[in-house]
A and B are shown apart, each in its own frame.
Chain A
Amino acid sequence: MDLFFMTVTTGIMVGGIYALVALGWVLIYKCSGVLNLAMGEMTLIGAYVSLSFYAMGIPFLLALFFSLIIGLILGVITERIFLDKLIGEPVLTVIMVTVGLSFFFKGIVELIWGTDTRVFSPPVFPIEPIHFGNIIIGRVYLWSFVAAMILLVIFVCFFKYTRWGLAMQATADDEMAALSLGVSARFVYAAAWAIAFMAAGVGGTLLGNINGLNISVGYLGLLVLPAVVLGGLNSVPGAIVGGIAIGILQNLCGAYLDKYFAGGVKEVAPFVFMVIFLLFKPHGLWGWERIERV
């Protein structure tokens, strides 16, 4: 039973990071209708940038802050150069541009930083775990979860209470109405990409702290897809719940099913779950069901 509780807690903690990245994904989809497959590479870039700053001897929080700024700049540039021209194009075109972007980013990251696993040294978080009764949790997980939660709260407050956040909500709700009320859609798109880039960067940095940083951290970007499908593509609470649920599912499968299969269950389980879920509830828990007419 202890194993069960421990896996679930770890799952929730890792799921917090997934939720953060999933939030960025949902934001882009809600505001601009782009289904983004480059999320994983965005996490990679953010993570490598903050690792490089940290390796220069800059304190961790400051390094994270710098990577946020670079994420913001890159997000705006990406949106302006590539996505801005594709508004109103068919789904396949937009998706394939994001796929192209993902390969472009990945190739650049591999060319600059190589494929060896890098670690944050000295370690940012203390190594010795914390005991809650019988449950043992690594400090890295706990702090990552706390950081992810703080950022989630900041983002949600940003949408609810600031002028820019309200403008983004308005565009997501009804683009025409927002435009006619003086909201600049181009600004909103750029802001969505910038925020998604920043969220992805933080998620990547946290994950890099847990297991070390290499190209496979970019796999996170694919894990976001089951999470958002579970929650519904255009639902922010759905992204958070979905991220945490996928984290739990992944850890449970890793703990209980790994001995029955030939390995890789942890990676495949979210996708198997997603296919089955799609068959029964394609619009997710809180997604909008589109009514189609000829």
Chain B
Amino acid sequence: MSTTWLPCGVYHQDYKHDQGWWQTKFIKTKMILLFVVLFIVIPVFADSYSLSVCNQIGYTILGALGVQLLIGFCGQITLGHAAFLAVGAYTSTLLILDFPWPKFMMDFGIAYPISILIAAFAAGLWSVLFGLPCARVKGFYLILTTMAAQFITVDFLITGYVSQIGGRGQAFSLPPGTIKVGPWIIDSDIKVYFMMLVLVTGCVIMVANLIRSRIGRAWIAIRDNDISAEVMGINVIKYKFSAFFVAGFIGGIAGAFWISNLAAISPEHFPWFWSLWLVGVILIGGVGSIHGTIFGSIFMVVVMEVLQLTVMGFVDTSWGERLFTDFLFLKEAAFGLAICVFMIFEPKGLAYRWWQMKNYFNLWPFSY
């Protein structure tokens, strides 16, 4: 699912053009329109509820990008990514709350951006720590070690030790006004939305460019066949570790970003369910495609919101009320069923349909 065919009559005359992101005028217009919609139309016209849904989508994209990189591009299956999100979120929170920042840094609002960066590095290194077994094991065994990462990090270390720092009890609450980027205090959905847009755009561009560099090609070679990759002179272990680092790095950014949307963070925000949710998102969106990550995130979040609204519509009936109070369970069941159905009937994900659609219009009317 790599190349999209260009319409008739588009020729490349130099390599720069050939490697460009936006190759035709139509694509350029389309992308600029997309950015206009994202940066201007949605913030102006959307109400607070749809903005919060957008923020959730953005958070899911950020979290799932790392999973996509590991599973879709490097072939290292991970079922414990929420652990790295948790490391990022907790590092950032602890830095903001307990680190003695100089006064001017607090005033100018660079403390939070710096803490995001540090959190990203911490999560990356933590991810490499649990990626160490990938030097020796792969496939199912690697799944087990990443699962262990989830239980050891979230259920043991964070619940038992990190949450006790400062005697705050189970949840760390962030007082309003502590999260400040530059002159803006991040306290409303619209500010979170803009921060999310900047981070998502940055991370997507970073990953997309990494994928078409030497590093990305090495990852893809490892995914396709790690033995032949090694024979061809790729340092498999080094590139596997680097994949774990970048995935953890993005996960750390996602976690540190999400604390701006939460008044308090606790280990319950990073359950094992969330790790599997992220994997489900990329499977539904399409493995090995950055479009897929975005489509999957939008699909899952929107479907769950629609489900919730539907259940709310039936809240007057007795079973509807019960479903509404137990919505979390209904969500779990729906998520499970969605994964099963997609894996059986649409194993290539939504990105594949998108690709087919694009090719159909590009090649029309001569599709042969």
Partner-B contacts on A (CB < 8 A): 35, 82, 85-86, 89, 91-93, 95-97, 99-108, 110-111, 114, 222, 225-226, 229, 233, 261-265, 267-268, 271-272, 274-275, 278-279, 282, 292-294
Contacts and interface: CB of A to CB of B under 8 A. Distances in A.
Contacts of B140: 35, 91, 95, 233
Contacts of B335: 100, 103, 107
- Binding site secondary structure of chain B: helix
B155 A97 contact: no
B37 interface: no
13 contacts: A35-B140, A35-B143, A86-B344, A91-B77, A92-B283, A95-B143, A106-B333, A107-B336, A222-B147, A268-B152, A271-B148, A274-B144, A278-B133
Interface string B128-141: 00001100110111
B137 to A, nearest CB: 5
Contacts of A99: 79, 276, 279-280, 336, 339
Given A264-B155, A267-B155, A268-B155, A103 B137 contact: no
B287 interface: yes
3 nearest A-B pairs in the assembled complex, by CB-CB distance: A107-B333, A103-B336, A100-B339
A278 B329 contact: no
Given A282-B137, A292-B227, A294-B227, A108 B152 contact: no
B148 A272 contact: yes
Contacts of B329: 106-107, 110-111
Nearest to A228: B144
Interface residues on B, range: 35 or more
B330 A279 contact: no
A104 B336 contact: yes
B71 A111 contact: no
Nearest to B277: A103
- Binding site secondary structure of chain A: helix
A217 to B, nearest CB: 16
Interface in B219-257: 225, 227-228, 231
B309 interface: no
A119 B301 CA distance: 37
B151 A268 contact: yes
Contacts of B161: 262
Contacts of B133: 275, 278-279
Contacts of A262: 159-161, 164
A96 B280 contact: yes
A264 B159 contact: yes
B295 to A, nearest CB: 17
Interface in B34-84: 71, 77, 79
A141 to B, nearest CB: 25
A275 B153 CA distance: 13
Given A96-B283, A107-B333, A85 B344 contact: yes
B188 to A, nearest CB: 34
B347 A89 contact: yes
B334 A278 contact: no
Given A102-B336, A267-B155, A107 B343 contact: no
A294 B148 contact: no
Contacts of A293: 227
A204 B264 CA distance: 36
Interface string B158-191: 0111001000000000000000000000000000
B338 interface: yes
